[in-house]
């Protein structure tokens, strides 16, 4: 098919990545999709997705979650989007583009958004089986599949993408090496001090880092697959797979082939309007473009600005791209890393203000001009102030530089908040949104929530690093306008979770509907409530059940209707619709007889079994109707629910302690068992994890837990507020050298105080940092009883302990409750046909075939996704 020039001008966009999608949105905003035919040729087998968040695929996000467009946008604007059909050639004289499928499209305006390609060093065997790049979702799918058969992997490159790739391999359970040619990690973004802090933190996570060395050769075996690497210092690494993530290069071959000018080091040369210097009918935007200032910008924010500039120019409006803010804020391997402005102090006669704490993995540096102007900075380990500092760059801050980097507990003056920023300060660099624009969204456009401001201004919809500052500004502006800021739990309750807890406790309210009808918003009374407050109130009632006369069993009466899917079936729902069964194994201590029972159950029901890092044996793949049958056999053998499905205590991990270990100074196994049996079934705002280490060698990793215990020669040290999850945090020492009784008394108080005052879905780590006064206040309350509530907290915990009942046993002994465990209510004997498995390594895995997309318009693809 060949399209010809006609009355309706045609815009052909080559490439549909993040910048390409932003260009389409800019066309739509200017009404150009209504006056032009818009054709998009996309090489990948799926429409635009968020490449910045690519690594989140390994933490549970699906390709659909990462998508940046939808069927409605494409359809409403009449865009012809072809996926899996890239441009093969351009005839500038005829003004046509030929796609791989053979289709030929005529254009009035051609926009190249072809992005970049991964740089792979020219080393021997770089294309061997087991070598990968880290750029697309398809790359990630291939890495994920290959990783199942290797134990060690290596990443070539220690920059942004390299550390993301290393995090992905680590998350796949592979021993991971990072090889970086520069003398430090992230050499573009951080200086020597920042690189040292980053290195310490990453090595503490168990990754091996090799800096100052290059890759000389990929070593392969007789079968042609990767077995290791030779490095430039003569050393060798053993590795079953290699991921190249050593930077990117502009993808400009299409432009070269049609005679467009490119830079000496690549990139399609464009002017300030993003029009190619060779042909006024052709534009280039994003990572493939060499801007007028001689730079190729590899960040999404400059690409968005180029997309807006090109769309404005096509609409005959004045616009120009003369450069961009290169500030970045990322979380790599769970570590906050940010740089902004002149981070390396290249400005003549500038000064540095540095705060460094190697023990905590913190490094903060500000570059200050002689006149006090903030020129730039680097933040590693704590980037909380990034939004404010970046916005202040180029001005003289209203407080001293040291106050901007010192932690609050180090004697620093009051910290500077975003409300002190000038109106022209850029808050969202991705979409170039100023503080004044955000304020205007609140005052002029009556936006009262962060989502409304996002929709109005696009702030916070790019990389997301400005969302926290955005929320603070919205709240400050509402309060300044005399508008009461709604801090209620949800649309049903104007009270916070903490306030609802106090109401339930004081008035002994044991019914969600009673609480809603008496204390809910007027508009919510008489309704069924919402999915936010139902599980939150259910958790409050469950944690206070004995004190308020409620049933502690979550499937009794009204409670059952309040639960989320996992609690509703007392098991974790897995990705293919099956469930996991996780019995409690206190302290990890188990008899041979009980091990045999678990093995027999897994064999008889065909379950996948895995020994976890939390001292449990997980069994996966149970159909919903099989759950009570499995529980019955476990209960008969003396097991009970491990509450892996609930916002409750999961496990108390332990080492072998003084009983077996020659370094142990206390019996950590006994203490772990005592704690797990005491706090089992305790419902809380979020899940709880704990550990007990028998000595300071810390084999149980207690300092990464919500409450952790470490043995000393004089007793026990209690740490609180740790988190080893998506945002790692070391726990803080609450009290030391405690006796058994003192330890349990303080944990009782700490947990009940947390349950009483935390927000919904707030981990102890976040709560400890958010609650006024932080650790000092919590210590005053639970150790020194400054509020006079410790007796009440201990009584509430004692009531929980006295009234504990196993939820699995309760269920299998109640025929009425058992009736819910079917796939189809109207066909209780019919198993769910969607739940399927395939064999892998002598066990099973979910049968989830990958989505394949042919060469067809993307509307069909998006239509299919919507139906699924």
What's the CATH number where 764 sits? 3.30.413.10
Please give the sequence-ordered ranges of beta strands (E in DSSP) within 198-322, or none if there are none. 208-211, 215-220, 226-231, 236-238, 241-244, 248-250, 268-269, 282-284, 289-290
Distance CA 214, CA 566 (A): 48
The residues with which 152 forms a beta bridge, in sequence order, are 175
Query: 280: Cβ–Cβ under 8 A, 6 or more apart, which residues?
Result: none
Residues of the binding site:
655, 661, 695, 699
Is 569 within the bounds of a domain?
yes
| 457 assigned to some structural domain | no
For tokens 């006669």, name the residue: 349
> Is 407 contained in some domain?
no
DSSP of 148-196: GG-SEEEEE--SHHHHHHHHHHHHTT-EEEEEESSSSSSTTT--HHHHH
Rounded CA Rg of the chain: 29
The answer to the question of residue 597 being in a domain is yes
Number of CB atoms found within 10 A of residue 560's CB? 15
- pLDDT of res. 860: 47
| Contact yes or no for 458/431 (Cβ under 8 A) | yes
CA distance 253 to 265: 13
Task: Determine the Cα–Cα distance for residues 295 and 299; give it in Å rounded to an integer.
Answer: 12
Is residue 3 scored above 70 in pLDDT? no
Residue 77, classified by CB atoms within 10 Å of its CB into exposed (0-12), middle (13-18) or buried (19+), is middle
Q: State whether 706 and 801 are in the same domain.
A: yes
530 and 679 within one domain:
no
Which residue, 246, 279, 301, sits at the end of a domain? 246
Residues 290 and 164 in one domain: no
- The dihedrals phi and psi of 376, each to the nearest 5 degrees, come to 170, -170
Question: Residues annotated as binding site for [4Fe-4S] cluster?
Answer: 655, 661, 695, 699
Q: Is the pLDDT of residue 603 over 70?
A: yes
In a domain, 447, yes or no: no
The whole-angstrom separation of Cα 10 and Cα 691 is 64
Q: What CATH number is attached to the domain comprising 608?
A: 3.90.480.10
User: Which residue carries 């090595």 as its tokens?
Assistant: 203
Question: Tell me: the pLDDT tens digits for 434-471?
Answer: 888 988 888 888 887 777 888 888 887 776 667 777 87
Does the pLDDT value for residue 473 go beyond 70? yes
3-class state of residue 323 by DSSP? coil
Are 366 and 373 a contacting pair, CB within 8 Å? Answer: no
Give the number of other Cβ atoms within 10 Å of residue 313's Cβ: 20
Shared domain for 780 and 715, answered yes or no, is yes
CA atoms within 13 A of residue 608's CA, in its CB half-sphere? 18
Do 698 and 766 share a structural domain? yes
Q: Does the pLDDT of residue 866 top 70, yes or no?
A: no
Which residue pairs, CB below 8 angstroms and at least 24 apart, start in 604-607? 605/629, 605/630, 606/837, 606/844, 607/581, 607/844
Query: What are the pLDDT digits (tens) for 347-362?
Result: 888 888 888 877 677 8
- Summarize pLDDT for 534-565 with one digit per residue, the tens: 989 999 999 998 888 887 777 887 777 777 77
- Report the pLDDT value the prediction gives residue 404, as an integer from 0 to 100: 77
CB contact at 8 A, 481 and 474: no
Residues 319-346: what's their mean pLDDT? 79
Does 668 share its domain with 796?
yes
CA nearest 288: which of 319, 313, 265? 265
How many other CB atoms are found less than 10 A from the CB of residue 102? Answer: 11
Tokens 């797990």, residue? Answer: 676
Query: Which whole-number Å values give the CA distances from 313 to 318, 433, 512, in the listed order?
Result: 6, 20, 57
Q: The dihedral of CA 809, 811, 813, 818: what is its sign? A: negative
In this structure, are 41 and 160 located in the same domain? no
Tell me the two tokens of residue 332: 């790599």
Is residue 59 very low, low, confident or very high in pLDDT (cuts 50, 70, 90)?
Answer: low
Could you give the CA distance from residue 268 to residue 277 in angstroms, rounded to a whole number? 9
What would the two tokens of residue 748 be? 């009782």
Cβ–Cβ < 8 Å for 386, 370: no
What are 231-284's pLDDT values in tens digits? 999 999 999 999 999 888 999 999 999 999 999 989 999 999 999 999 999 999
**Given this model, what pLDDT does residue 846 score?**
83
Mark whether 798 and 684 lie in a shared domain: yes
DSSP type of residue 624: G
**Minimal CA–CA distance to 721: which of 776, 798, 664, 656?**
776
Could you list the residues known to form a binding site for siroheme, using ranges.
699
Question: Under 8 Å CB-to-CB from 549, ≥6 apart: which residues?
Answer: 508, 510
CA 494, 496, 498, 504 dihedral sign is: positive
Q: 26 and 106, same structural domain?
A: yes
Beta-carbon contacts of 765 under 8 Å, excluding residues fewer than 6 positions away, are: 706, 721, 722, 723, 727, 729
Q: Mark which of 518, 547, 563 sits at the end of a domain.
A: 563
Give residue-wise pLDDT tens across range 39-58.
999 999 889 988 887 877 77
Residue 833 has pLDDT above 60, yes or no: yes
Does 785 share its domain with 657?
Answer: yes
pLDDT level of residue 867 (50, 70, 90 thresholds): very low
Q: C-alpha angle 343/345/346, rounded to 5°? A: 115
Distance CA 635, CA 609 (A): 18
Q: How confident is the model at residue 415 (pLDDT cuts 50, 70, 90)?
A: low
Domain count, the chain: 5
Give the helix, strand, coil percentages of the chain, each rounded to 5.
35, 20, 45
Rounded CA-CA distance 28/5 in Å is 21
738 sits in which H/E element: strand 732-738
In this predicted structure, the answer to whether residue 863 has a pLDDT above a threshold of 70 is no
742: left (phi over 0), alpha (psi -120 to 50) or beta: alpha
DSSP state of 588: G
Sole residue written with tokens 């599949």: 145
Under DSSP, the state recorded for 561 is H
Domain boundary among 563, 597, 619: 563
Q: What is the 3-state secondary structure (H, E, C) of 688-704?
A: EEEEEECCCCCCCCHHH
Would residue 358 count as lying in a domain? Answer: no
Q: Which domain holds residue 531?
A: 497-563
Question: Are residue 670 and residue 800 in the same domain, yes or no?
Answer: yes
> Which domain CATH number covers 34?
3.50.50.60
Helix/strand/coil for 831: coil
Question: At 622, phi and psi to the nearest 5?
Answer: -80, 135
Structure tokens at 583: 């019995």
C-alpha 142/C-alpha 132 separation (Å) is 8
* DSSP type of residue 849: P
Tokens coding 271: 């002017």
Which of 311-315, 588-592, 651-655, 826-830 is least confident? 826-830
Residue 155, C-beta contacts closer than 8 angstroms, at least 6 positions apart = 134, 162, 165, 166, 169, 176, 177, 178, 179, 242, 243, 245
Greater pLDDT, 14 or 364? 14
Pairing of strands 116-118, 248-250: antiparallel
Domain identity same for 800 and 712 = yes
Q: From CA 195, how far away is CA 183, in angstroms rounded?
A: 9
Query: Within its chain, how far is the Cα of 628 from the centroid?
Result: 34
386 neighbors 325 (Cβ within 8 angstroms): no
**Nearest partner of 114 among 287, 262, 311, judged by Cα:** 287
Question: Considering the domain boundaries, does residue 701 fall inside one?
Answer: yes
Q: What are phi and psi of 487, to 5 degrees?
A: -105, 20
Confidence bin at 413 (pLDDT 50/70/90):
very low
Asked if the structure places residue 422 within a domain, the reply is no
Of 489, 503, 499, 497, nearest in space to 548 by CA: 503
Lookup result for tokens 């690093």? 465
- Pairwise CA distance, residues 626 & 816, whole Å: 16
Average pLDDT, the chain: 86
Are the beta carbons of 395 and 373 closer than 8 angstroms?
yes
């Amino acid at each position: 098919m060949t399209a010809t020039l006609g009355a309706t001008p045609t815009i052909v966009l080559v490439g549909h990545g993040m910048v390409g999608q932003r260009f389409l949105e800019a066309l739509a905003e200017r009404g150009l999709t209504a006056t032009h035919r818009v054709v998009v040729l996309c090489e990948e087998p799926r429409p635009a997705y968020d490449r910045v968040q690519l690594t989140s695929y390994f933490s549970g996000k699906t390709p659909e979650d990462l998508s940046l467009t939808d069927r409605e946008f494409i359809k409403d604007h009449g865009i012809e989007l072809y996926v899996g059909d890239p441009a093969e050639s351009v005839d500038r004289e005829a003004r046509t583009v030929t796609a791989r499928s053979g289709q030929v499209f005529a254009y009035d305006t051609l926009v190249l958004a072809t992005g970049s390609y991964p740089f792979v060093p020219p080393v021997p065997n770089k294309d061997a089986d087991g070598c990968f790049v880290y750029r697309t979702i398809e790359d990630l799918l291939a890495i994920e599949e290959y990783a199942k058969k290797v134990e060690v992997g290596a990443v070539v490159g220690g920059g942004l993408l390299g550390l993301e790739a290393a995090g992905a391999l680590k998350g796949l359970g592979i021993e991971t090496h990072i090889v970086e040619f520069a003398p430090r990690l992230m050499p573009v973004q951080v200086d020597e001090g920042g690189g040292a802090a980053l290195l310490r933190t990453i090595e503490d996570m168990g990754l091996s880092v090799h800096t100052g060395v290059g890759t000389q050769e990929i070593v392969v075996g007789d079968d042609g697959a990767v077995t290791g690497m030779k490095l430039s210092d003569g050393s060798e690494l053993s590795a079953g797979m290699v991921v190249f993530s050593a930077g990117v290069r502009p993808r400009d071959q299409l432009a070269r082939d049609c005679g467009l000018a490119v830079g000496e080091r690549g990139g399609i040369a464009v002017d300030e309007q993003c029009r190619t210097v060779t042909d006024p009918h052709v534009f280039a935007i994003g990572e493939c473009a060499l801007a007028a200032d001689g730079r190729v910008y590899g960040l999404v924010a400059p690409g968005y600005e180029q997309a807006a500039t090109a769309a404005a120019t096509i609409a005959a409006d004045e616009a120009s791209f003369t450069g961009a803010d290169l500030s970045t804020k990322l979380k790599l391997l769970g570590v906050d890393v940010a740089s902004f402005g002149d981070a390396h102090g290249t400005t003549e006669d500038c000064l540095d203000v540095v705060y460094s704490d190697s023990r905590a993995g913190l490094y903060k540096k500000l570059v200050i001009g002689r006149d006090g102007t903030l020129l730039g900075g680097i933040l590693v380990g704590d980037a909380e102030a990034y939004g404010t500092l970046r916005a202040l760059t180029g001005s003289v801050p209203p407080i001293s530089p040291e106050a901007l980097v010192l932690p609050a507990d180090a004697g620093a003056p009051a910290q500077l908040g975003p409300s002190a920023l000038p109106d022209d300060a850029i808050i969202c660099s991705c979409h170039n949104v100023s503080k004044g624009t955000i304020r205007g969204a609140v005052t002029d456009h009556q936006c009262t929530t962060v989502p409304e401001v996002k929709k109005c201004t696009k702030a916070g919809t790019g990389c997301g690093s400005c969302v926290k500052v955005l929320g603070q500004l919205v709240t400050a502006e509402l309060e300044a306008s005399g508008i009461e800021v709604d801090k209620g739990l949800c649309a049903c309750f104007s009270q916070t979770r903490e306030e609802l807890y106090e109401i339930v406790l004081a008035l002994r309210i044991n019914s969600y509907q009673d609480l809603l009808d008496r204390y809910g918003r007027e508009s919510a009374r008489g309704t069924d409530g919402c999915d936010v407050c139902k599980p939150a109130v259910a958790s409050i009632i469950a944690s206070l059940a004995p004190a308020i006369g409620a049933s502690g069993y979550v499937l009794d009466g009204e409670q059952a209707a309040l639960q989320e899917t996992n609690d509703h079936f007392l098991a974790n729902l897995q990705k293919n619709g099956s469930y996991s069964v996780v019995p409690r194994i206190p302290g990890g201590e188990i008899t041979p007889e009980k091990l045999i029972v678990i093995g027999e159950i897994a064999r008889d029901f065909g379950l996948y079994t895995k020994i976890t890092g939390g001292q449990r044996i997980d069994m996966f793949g149970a159909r919903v109707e099989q759950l009570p049958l499995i529980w019955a056999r476990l209960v008969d053998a003396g097991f009970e629910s491990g509450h892996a499905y609930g916002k409750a205590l999961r496990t108390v991990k332990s080492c072998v302690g003084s009983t077996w270990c020659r370094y142990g100074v206390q019996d950590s196994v006994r203490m772990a068992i005592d704690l797990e049996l005491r706090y089992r079934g305790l419902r809380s705002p979020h899940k709880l994890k704990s550990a007990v280490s028998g000595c300071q060698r810390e084999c149980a990793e207690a300092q990464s837990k919500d409450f952790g215990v470490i043995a000393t020669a004089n007793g026990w040290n209690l740490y609180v507020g740790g988190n080893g999850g998506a945002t790692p945090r070391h726990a803080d020492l609450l009290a030391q050298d405690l006796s058994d009784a003192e330890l349990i008394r303080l944990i009782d108080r700490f947990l009940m105080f947390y349950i009483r005052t935390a927000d919904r879905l707030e981990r102890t780590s976040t709560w400890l940092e958010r609650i006024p006064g932080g650790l000092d206040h919590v210590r005053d309350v639970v150790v020194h009883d400054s509020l006079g509530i410790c007796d009440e907290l201990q009584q509430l915990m004692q009531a929980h302990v006295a009234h504990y009942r196993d939820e699995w046993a309760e269920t299998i002994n109640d025929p009425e409750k058992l009736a819910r465990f079917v796939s189809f209510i109207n066909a209780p004997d019919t198993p769910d046909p969607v739940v399927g498995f395939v064999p892998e390594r002598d066990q099973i895995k979910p049968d989830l075939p990958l989505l394949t997309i042919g060469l067809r318009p993307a509307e069909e693809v998006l239509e299919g996704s919507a139906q699924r």
